[in-house]
């Protein structure tokens, strides 16, 4: 989204599920009713696909630039038809965009799927996705902003770990590339670094540590899915959010929705990344973003901070959805307690 922005229950079908999915990609968590599927780590020489499941791509030069970035990792790159399709503000019709995603997941030659951009449109195809096929063909799916809808739905419906990270038309500087490599190409737990010297230090809302599965993404997209069948049970989750170009009253409205729907009262920890350009048009008549966050999050009494490198910013983290993590609000850092890929 350029301008803004429970897992599978065991029901006696574990054996069938294991036959359909590579055995080493399934990680059953003892004592729970969850099957977690980790995608194979990306490697140089792998074939990956670029798609645009939401907004139309109007600058084809960006596709060429992103293709070269992916080739610098040693990947072979193929392009989806959606990179050239135009249907209003979408990269093709809903059916075309959904079918392309389904086909690329089903194609065993493709090891990773990268989203070119956000915009708007992913929520329109959630009911057209073949979740069973995705479960049988786990692979890395990465994007952010409007791609949040795909990440949340796929992780919830299939158990597949997905990745909230850079899209093709966002920055891929050295910092961003390094985090992406450590999270998607190295099968080891990873501790996210503290903010670079060029970034403001995180603000501690409530100190302390919290543990739980990481779930989240763009605030606008997530809040628009409230009441649907594409969101997880929020109990004991660490919720991470980001947003861009929304006034404080709009942030207030969406956080209120998360409160009234029971999300905020269920989570164990809270992290807000960056709210890029989230300024009031008439500041003398408004709360600031800082004040709105404190009003909603401070009363929860859970470890919480904002200012993480998540969102519409240059230095960007790749954050896996569904992975166990620990957050330290006093230090403003997140540590992954398990590997995100195998």
In this structure, are residues 311 and 203 in contact, taking their beta carbons and an 8 Å threshold? Answer: no
Burial (CB count <10 Å: 0-12, 13-18, 19+), residue 150 = buried
- DSSP conformation letters of 291-331: HHHHHHHGGG-S-EEE--S-SSSSS---EEET-EEEEETTT
CA distance 85 to 52: 9
Q: Active-site residue 242, yes or no?
A: yes
Q: Is residue 3 flagged as an active site residue?
A: no
Q: Could you give the CA distance from residue 220 to residue 266 in angstroms, rounded to a whole number?
A: 19
Report the distance separating Cα 50 and Cα 112, nearest Å.
9
Whether 312 sits among the annotated catalytic residues: the reply is yes
Give the C-alpha separation, 15 to 198, whole Å. 50
Nearest to 239 by CA among 330, 148, 167, 176: 148
| Annotated catalytic residue, options 52, 156, 312, 340 | 312
Catalytic residue, from 17, 52, 100, 145: name it.
145
Q: Is the dihedral of CA 92, 311, 188, 151 positive or negative?
A: negative
Calculate the alpha carbon distances from 54 to 6, 88, 129, 133, 184 in Å.
24, 11, 14, 21, 23
CB atoms within 10 A of CB 213: 25
Q: Which of 100, 242, 246, 247 is catalytic?
A: 242
Alpha-carbon span 21 to 307, nearest angstrom: 38
Supply the residues annotated as catalytic: 145, 242, 312
């Amino acid at each position: 989204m350029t301008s803004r922005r429970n897992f599978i229950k065991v029901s006696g079908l574990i054996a069938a599920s294991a036959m359909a999915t590579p055995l080493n990609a399934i990680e059953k968590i003892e004592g729970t009713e969850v099957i977690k599927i980790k995608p194979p780590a990306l490697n140089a020489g792998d074939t990956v696909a670029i798609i645009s499941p939401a907004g139309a791509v109007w600058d084809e030069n960006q596709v060429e630039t992103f293709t070269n970035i992916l080739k610098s990792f040693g990947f072979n790159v193929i392009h989806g038809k959606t990179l050239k399709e135009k249907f209003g503000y979408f990269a093709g019709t809903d059916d075309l965009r959904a079918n392309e995603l389904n086909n690329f997941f089903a194609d065993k030659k493709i090891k990773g799927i990268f989203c070119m951009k956000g915009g708007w449109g992913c929520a329109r195809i959630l009911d057209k996705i073949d979740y069973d096929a995705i479960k049988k063909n786990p692979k890395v799916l990465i994007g952010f902003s409007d791609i949040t809808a795909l990440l949340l739905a796929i992780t919830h419906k299939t158990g597949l770990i997905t990745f909230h990270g850079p899209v093709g038309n966002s920055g891929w500087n050295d910092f961003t590339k390094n985090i992406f490599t450590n999270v998607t190409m190295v099968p080891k737990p990873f501790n996210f670094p503290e903010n670079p010297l060029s970034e403001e230090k995180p603000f501690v809302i409530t100190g302390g540590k919290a543990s739980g599965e990481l779930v989240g993404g763009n605030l606008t997209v997530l809040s628009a899915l409230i009441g649907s069948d594409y969101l997880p049970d929020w109990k004991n989750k660490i919720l991470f959010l980001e947003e861009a170009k929304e006034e404080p009253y709009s942030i207030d409205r969406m956080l209120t929705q998360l409160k009234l729907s029971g999300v905020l009262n269920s989570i164990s920890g809270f992290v807000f990344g960056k709210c890029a350009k989230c300024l009031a048009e008439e500041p003398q008549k408004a709360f600031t973003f800082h004040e709105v966050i404190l009003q909603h999050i401070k009363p929860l009494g859970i470890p919480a901070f904002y200012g993480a490198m998540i969102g519409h910013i240059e230095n960007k983290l790749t954050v896996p959805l569904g992975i166990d993590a620990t957050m330290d609000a006093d230090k403003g850092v997140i540590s992954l307690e398990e590997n995100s890929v195998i």
